[in-house]
Chains A and B, each alone.
Chain A
Amino acid sequence: MRNAWLVAQRELGAIFVQPIAYVFIIMILLITGYIFAAQIAFYVLQFGGGPPPSVANVLGLFTFLAIFAAPAVTMRLLSEEQRSGTMELLMTLPIRDGEVVFGKWLAAFIFYLASVALTIIYPVILIRFGNPDVGPIFSGYLGTILWGAGLLGVGVLASAVSENQIVSFMLAFGLNLALYLAALAGQSFTSNPTITNVLNQFSYEAHLGGFLDGVMTATDVVYYILVTAVALFAATRILETRRWR
């Protein structure tokens, strides 16, 4: 665990010297800010006609953007180490492969938390000038955090597969999208509700709605934690098999 933290610390330093971190943050603030402002303007102009402003829209957009943005953050994590030869150092230092993988994910996750933290300005504005329901704000943020954990786990897995960052990015993006769209695929199985139901359970998107509406279920929480754990476990295994080649 201590080693994982050391790996994470080193990686965080590397993330923040990369322009991608700042592009990521600017993009998120720009797009979510635009949506938030538009929502407020709509509410004010409608005089009670529209739905009261909430963070659900902002977080919905944030989580959607994360599908593209998370692979951009994770693509270099293990790929770069493999390409530049520093993997030979990591794998001959007294660190377990699992600690390397977890440390890498942890660094990406901390970066993700920092980006999520930047959007807290929106609920702060709502609470200052309105009277929003705090429950959905809280659960919405928890859902957003869990959502990111899973996407980053998949990203680390993709990064373990290839030493080419573009390949890692495309692979992570593809996996994320496949998970995200599982419910959509399920809808086409109208004749067989079991398949629809199973695909719904696999769907990354289907488990987020509850959080945004203020309804937290253990199933949804466990789902995201499971995706993260399975992805990180698989990434560790892939790293181990790289030794055998």
Chain B
Amino acid sequence: MIETESLTKVYGALKAISDITFSCKKGEVVGFLGPNGAGKTTTMRILTGYMPPTSGAAYIAGHNTLTESLPARQRLGYLPETVPLYPELSVENYLAFVGRVRRVDNLWDRVDAVLQTVDLLDRAESYISTLSKGMRQRVGLAQALLHDPDVLILDEPTIGLDPAQIREVRQLITQLGEKHTILLSTHILSEVEQICSRAIIVIDGRIWADMPIEQAVGGAHKNLLTVKLARPAANTLTTLRAVQGVVEARANGVREFQVRIDGRDETRQRVAETAVNSGWGLLELSSEKVSLETIFLNKLQEAEQAALDMAEEVAAETHPKSTIQNPKSLGEE
């Protein structure tokens, strides 16, 4: 449904995204993650036909967003980061305008239906200028849903909503995800864990991870153990560190310890035996759950490290004999 082939966008001297390639199947809800300025909005704008890529191509339901822009645009619903509303129109007239342009059949029935979906039926006749931020966000969402598109592209759909509304919108997205293909960007990692079937992490304009949520998240972390003890001794940390296969151990509180191991089952057994034999009163020994947050932060670190390495390499090429003290400052030379 959504397909991109090495999308690259350059603004003047700035490379906003480079070599973005991914595809989303029908019925997938894909979370688009990344720090601010990573290129999420740029990618979405290319997918919606708002701007062309510098190179590469994007397809919506098989239509090239550049050469077959109109059919591609007809097949998608888009909620931009800045909700595009006409304050002088009433909610229903605004939706009617969008619906007429999109040639929606049974227009007023559809308007009522989407207003019901976003829970704004009682404000249908209100002028958009009188609505709160959360309501405006929902009008924007209604606009994207109006023509029941195959593909939904939502740029931060839950921003500005209160907790109850956030939950409703998440439920709505989950529900829509059964029939539609949805690509949404957000900063809220738990949101992605809850509603997305897949996460794509974009950092500095590149894809750093593209993974199914179920496999990546929630599973046991093989390398991280949590050990709870009833009577830890003074030498507990040093003893744990000395166990064969343990990489690192640290206290997570008075009675809780976090132990990083080599991932082997034998090591876990040895940690348990050590705890029992030392008479510390072993209460619990569990593997830590992997969260999207740990993955995200790891990827961020990876990306930073890669940038540093690259700077060092460049520096080594340009100044082969000088010793590099601070590779970060080299970019300014």
Contacts and interface: CB of A to CB of B under 8 A. Distances in A.
B70 A96 contact: yes
A86 interface: yes
A94 to B, nearest CB: 5
B51 A86 contact: no
A243 B42 CA distance: 12
A89 B84 contact: yes
Contact of B86 (A3, A10, A244): A10
A86 B85 contact: yes
Given A93-B98, A93-B102, A95-B101, A88 B89 contact: no
Interface string A79-107: 00000111111111111100000000000
B88 A93 contact: no
What band does the interface of chain A fall in when counting residues whose beta carbon is under 8 Å from B? 20 to 34
Interface string B70-91: 1101101010101111101100
Given A13-B88, A14-B86, A89-B84, A6 B50 contact: no
B49 interface: yes
A245 B74 CA distance: 24
B51 A94 contact: no
> Which applies to chain A's interface (DSSP): helix, strand, loop or mixed?
helix
Interface in B240-268: none
Contacts of B97: 6, 10
Nearest to B75: A94
Contacts of A243: 50-52
B84 A85 contact: yes
A92 B101 contact: no
A6 B101 contact: yes
B98 A92 contact: no
A17 interface: yes
A244 B74 contact: no
Contact of A88 (B70, B84, B86, B100): B84
Given A13-B89, A86-B85, A88-B84, A3 B50 contact: no
A236 B203 CA distance: 35
Contacts of B71: 94
Contacts of B83: 85
20 contacts: A6-B97, A10-B89, A10-B97, A14-B86, A85-B83, A88-B50, A88-B80, A88-B82, A89-B98, A89-B143, A90-B84, A91-B50, A92-B49, A92-B50, A92-B76, A92-B78, A94-B102, A95-B101, A244-B51, A245-B11
Q: Which 3 A-B pairs have the closest CB atoms?
A: A89-B84, A85-B82, A86-B84
Interface of B: 11, 45, 48-52, 70-71, 73-74, 76, 78, 80, 82-86, 88-89, 93, 97-98, 100-102, 143
